[in-house]
Structure 1
Amino acid sequence: MNDSAAPVAGKTGLEFALLAEDGPARRGLITTAHGPVKTPAFMTVGTAGTVKGMTTEQVQASGAEIILGNTYHLMLRPGAERVARLGGLHRFMNWPGPILTDSGGYQVMSLQELRKITEEGVTFRSHLDGERHNLTPERAMEIQALLDSNITMVLDECTPFPATETEARESMERSMRWAARCRAAFTQRPGYGLFGIVQGGVYPALRRTSAEALIEIGFDGYAVGGLAVGEGQEAMFDVLDATIPHLPRAQPRYLMGIGKPADIVGAVQRGIDMFDCVLPTRSGRTGQAFTRRGSINLRNARHQEDQRPLDPDCPCPSCSDYSRAYLHHLFKAKEMLGPILLTRHNLHYYQELMAGLRQAIEDQRLDDFVAGFARQEAEGDIAAL
Structure 2
Amino acid sequence: MAFWAGGVTPRVSLVSPAGLLLEIGGCLRLWGGLDRLVAAVAADLHAQGQATALAAAPTPQGALWLAQSGTGALATDLAAMRARLDALPLAAIDLPAAVRDKLERFGARTLADARRLPRDGLARRLAPHGVEAVLAIARAYGEAADPRPDFAFPEKFSQQIEMPAPVEAAAALLFVARRLTAALAGWLELRQGGVDGCVLELAHSAREATHLVLRFAEATRDSRRFERVLRERLERLALTAPVAALRLKAETVEALPGKNGALFGGGSLAATAMAALVERLRARLGEDSVYGLAPHADHRPECATRKVCTPRVLPAGRSGGTAAGVIAAPPRPFWLLERPEALAEVDGRPWRRGALRLLAGPERIESGWWQSGEAKGEGELFSDVRRDYFVALTADSRWAWIFRELRAPGGWYLHGWFA
The bucket for the TM-score relative to the shorter chain is under 0.3
Higher relative contact order (CA 8 A, sep 6+): 1
Greater share of helix: 1
Greater share of strand: 2
